[in-house]
Amino acid sequence: MADQEKETAARQGWMGLLARAPEAALMALWDRVEARPAYDWLRAPETGGVMVRGRAGGTGAPFNLGEMTVTRCALALADGTVGHAYVQGRSRAKAEAAALIDALMQTEAAERIRALVLAPLAAQMAERAETRAARAAATKVEFFTLVRGED
């Protein structure tokens, strides 16, 4: 059972990375993959909306924050491996690439795909997050209270 949980967590990790990735970055890395397998659509890419829910402070009562556009699809490789994708936005090409990557990550091509696409994508996104955090930190204001005399 622990192996199944590890596999599920790993798949959630790469699917989340693909879902959040900027389209241009994902597609540039995906173009580096030469041997792409044939596949059949189980569900062609389709765009729709999902309700995003939030919690005040991360622990409060859930509330509807708003809607977000997503594109989803599902495909099957010739060997029967199924790949799914739910990506932010309206890009059918990004959804197709993400579903193919998901399927390939479940085959013997996983290490090659991880090295060519997932690892560089994760590094790019981490660098982007660090840059954004540094820009935000530069605007941080320190507030403090001065005590004026004693009563």
Q: Quick one: pLDDT at residue 1?
A: 63
What stretches in the chain show pLDDT beneath 70? 1, 145-151
Domain definitions of the chain by residue range: 2-138
Query: Buried b / exposed e across 67-105, counting CB within 10 Å, b at 16+?
Result: eeebbbbbbebeeebebbbbbbeebeebbbbbbbbbbbb
pLDDT tens for residues 92-128?
Answer: 999 999 999 999 999 999 999 999 999 999 999 999 8
What would the two tokens of residue 30 be? 């995906």
DSSP string, 2-53: HHHHHHHHHHHHHHHHHHHS-HHHHHHHHTT------EEEEEEEEEEEEEEE
The three-class DSSP label of residue 109 is: coil
Burial (0-12, 13-18, 19+ Cβ within 10 Å), 30? buried
Q: Are strands 39-55 and 82-88 parallel, antiparallel or unpaired?
A: unpaired
Q: Quick one: pLDDT at residue 142?
A: 74
Separation between Cα atoms, residue 102 and residue 113, nearest integer Å? 10
Q: Quick one: pLDDT at residue 150?
A: 67
**pTM of the predicted structure, to 2 decimals:** 0.82
Q: What is the DSSP letter of 89?
A: S
Q: Quick one: pLDDT at residue 137?
A: 81
Q: Quick one: pLDDT at residue 86?
A: 95
